[in-house]
Amino acid sequence: MAPAAAAPVLALGDDLLREVFLRLPAPADLLRAAAACKPFLRAARSAPFLRRFRRRRPSSCPHLLGFLLLFPDRRRARFHPLSASPSPSSASSSSSAAGSADGGGDFALSFLPGGDWQGGAAAATWEHLGYRNGRLLIKNLESQELAIADPISRRSVFLPAPPASGGAVGYGLFADDGDSSDFRVVCLSRDAASGELRALYLSSGDGELSWANVAGVACQLGLAAGSRAMQANRSLYWRLEGGGRLLAFSTAAMELSVLDLPPALRELSFDAVDRGEEEDASVLHLLTMSGFCIEVWAGTGDGDGGMAWRRVDKSVRFHKLLREMIQPSRRSYQLGGVDVIGVAAGVVFLRQWNHLFSIELDTMKLKMLPSKDCCEALICPYTIVWPPYFLNPAGQEVA
């Protein structure tokens, strides 16, 4: 008797299965397909494939859980879950992850030694330095060592203090879009001898967690007050003093560079965003709000070390809707400027003094969000790319 033939779909092999999975409409559909059998799970867990999947769906992946309020002393934090429940199409796969964040996440960081930075009987010992894809980069104020903390899984990785000769002036956390076990940390420092800005680099993929002095650039400007690292195109970006330039670090080329901003953006807040497929990776997209309209600017190298900028998108004007939400009874209310806090999962977060809003970029739907204490806090949209159970942190194959 001849042996039973393999199921036709399993005979496709991992590469063809990934091409099929790439055409699924939503992350929830990929999670359901991966749960069907071990061969599907093995194919779907490929980090390069997950990066391709995410880049095709910037408005739905990563999954937006809420936002973090990080207060001025950078030693207190509070999490606000989004009140909206998941849509039917995503409920089965994302509700467990969202529920974990809403009810089970430890945003007090009590799982760390000397934790509980939200306040308590003991003084907080951790300072917030950066955030990306559900994880926090923090520093122990006593030992100066760093840590990557995940409030959802209650796990942490401790890192040595960076050997910054002239002192650290800024940090950035780069999180891989395909495998949440992979992260990179950049410490910016001012070289004591030459005065140039240097990039110290640490990668979890190198095996041994150690710092390397990888790049430098002649730049007398420091980081702008309150400047935070923005991530796009496998690079990190910081705003420099004066508002007219960006400092960029490429994790692919291991290079630091200084980029000129267009005049229209020099007085505005903005965030760097990924758009579309890999062919757009050489174009830097910045999203801002100008004249109560959302605008997207695209910048490319001009071949002479400068940047050529053009505005590629402009939305309808939100002035009337914002004014009615803030002061519905006063038609003469003068609405001040609106700051872009950040962009995540196809949603832009905005702040107008002590009011917090979100706009869905696909539908341009405007919402007012809970805004207690938001005027004094640094606000970070809180996302996870994939539920922790879906990934294979050790990089092992599924039998």
| pLDDT at residue 338 is higher than 50 | yes
Q: How confident is the model at residue 197 (pLDDT cuts 50, 70, 90)?
A: very high
Per-residue pLDDT of 226-239, as tens digits, reads 788 999 888 999 99
Q: How confident is the model at residue 96 (pLDDT cuts 50, 70, 90)?
A: very low
Asked whether residue 15 is assigned to any structural domain, the reply reads no
Asked whether residue 75 is assigned to any structural domain, the reply reads yes
Place of tokens 């910016």: 188
Asked whether residue 320 is assigned to any structural domain, the reply reads yes
Per-residue pLDDT of 136-180, as tens digits, reads 899 887 788 899 988 888 888 999 989 876 688 999 999 765 555
Asked whether residue 301 is assigned to any structural domain, the reply reads yes
Of the spans 77-91, 197-211, 250-264, which averages the highest pLDDT?
Answer: 250-264
Asked whether residue 397 is assigned to any structural domain, the reply reads no
Q: Which residue has the higher pLDDT, 281 or 124?
A: 281
| pLDDT at residue 320 is higher than 90 | no
Per-residue pLDDT of 257-290, as tens digits, reads 999 999 999 999 999 998 765 546 679 999 999 9
Asked whether residue 11 is assigned to any structural domain, the reply reads no
Predicted local confidence at residue 79, as pLDDT: 80
- 331-to-61, 321, 339 alpha-carbon distances in Å: 39, 11, 22
Asked whether residue 35 is assigned to any structural domain, the reply reads no
Q: Which helix (H) or strand (E) holds 51?
A: helix 47-55
Q: How much is the pTM?
A: 0.81
Strand runs labelled E in 251-291: 255-260, 270-273, 284-290
With beta carbons less than 8 A apart as the criterion, state whether 30 and 24 touch: yes
| pLDDT at residue 90 is higher than 90 | no
Q: Which helix (H) or strand (E) holds 32?
A: helix 27-34
With beta carbons less than 8 A apart as the criterion, state whether 232 and 274 touch: yes
Asked whether residue 294 is assigned to any structural domain, the reply reads yes
Amino acid (one-letter) located at 39: P
CATH number, domain with residue 361? 2.120.10
Q: How many domains, the chain?
A: 1
Domain that holds residue 245: 47-390
| pLDDT at residue 399 is higher than 50 | no
| pLDDT at residue 59 is higher than 70 | no
Q: Which residue has the higher pLDDT, 82 or 240?
A: 240
